Amino acid sequence: MAHDELLALARATAVTAGELAHRRRIEGVEIADHKSSPVDVVTMADRETELLIRSLIADVRPDDGFLGEEGGAGRGASGLTWVVDPIDGTVNYLYGIPHWAVSIAVVEGDPDPLTWRALAGCVTNPVTGEIYTATEAGGAFSANQQLKVPDFHSLEQALVGTGFSYDSAERARQGEVVAGLLPLVRDIRRFGAASLDLCAVATGRLNGYFERGLKPWDHAAAALVAREAGAVVTGLDGAPASADFALAAAPGLADPLQRVLRELRV
């Protein structure tokens, strides 16, 4: 299947799943479980939405693998794996903050950010109706407009996004990094949904973004969107973005931002 066909499936599935999740939010949120800590919640809608996504994809591509935040991994025979976050920004979703997303990507190879090749991806915010899409070497788009990261070089004028761990000790360390970075940039934003942060870099709403601890489903689709829009997307020292570290920024900002973060021992 060509990249465009994979993207069409990702987009249609994300939109349908987003409609379900949005409807469930209006009806009322029920917490199903906790994951890494008492503040790291899973809602019934997370699970129901992921099951719908898995079903819709399997109907069309039964031989593909699937890696979802809630349902774990399942290997396929095709060499392709769908990497899915049914609701990215679950705490925002829980509180009724209209900043959460459905994220769906398809990758070639093992579902490991250090080795995979992302082929197509879609991130949608069902509340605002914004849809971000990208294919490998095919560009990134929103509302049928091709995205291009604005040229940007000034660390002092940069608006930078980040995210925090659910682990309290790790959050304390991340707070120290933010405290060190804040005087050096225009300002810092923490919106609570990594996929939308990465897409914000693609649109120019953020000049840069960094975070430790991202799971594969947090960035599989959105990192492709940012990269295809012209952002530098990287880990430390040129490694691929992963749980160890992920940074996305306008090309002229990526090196100075990463240099400062290294000095702050991110």
List, as residue ranges, the binding site. 69, 85, 87-88, 218
Cβ contacts of 149 within 8 Å, gap of 6 or more? 201, 202, 204, 226, 229, 230, 231, 250, 251
CA distance 75 to 50: 16
Instruction: For strands 159-162 and 208-211, give the pairing.
Output: parallel
Assess contact for 105 and 117: CB atoms under 8 A. no
- Count of beta carbons in the 10 Å neighbourhood of residue 143: 9
Instruction: For strands 65-68 and 72-74, give the pairing.
Output: antiparallel
CA distance 177 to 163: 11
Binning the chain into helix, strand and coil, the percentages to the nearest 5 are 40, 25, 35
Sign of CA dihedral 73, 77, 79, 84: negative
* Nearest partner of 186 among 205, 163, 165, 167, judged by Cα: 205
Name the helix (H) or strand (E) containing 42.
Answer: strand 41-43
SS3 for 162?
strand
State the binding site for Mg(2+). Answer: 69, 85, 87-88, 218
- Count of beta carbons in the 10 Å neighbourhood of residue 204: 17
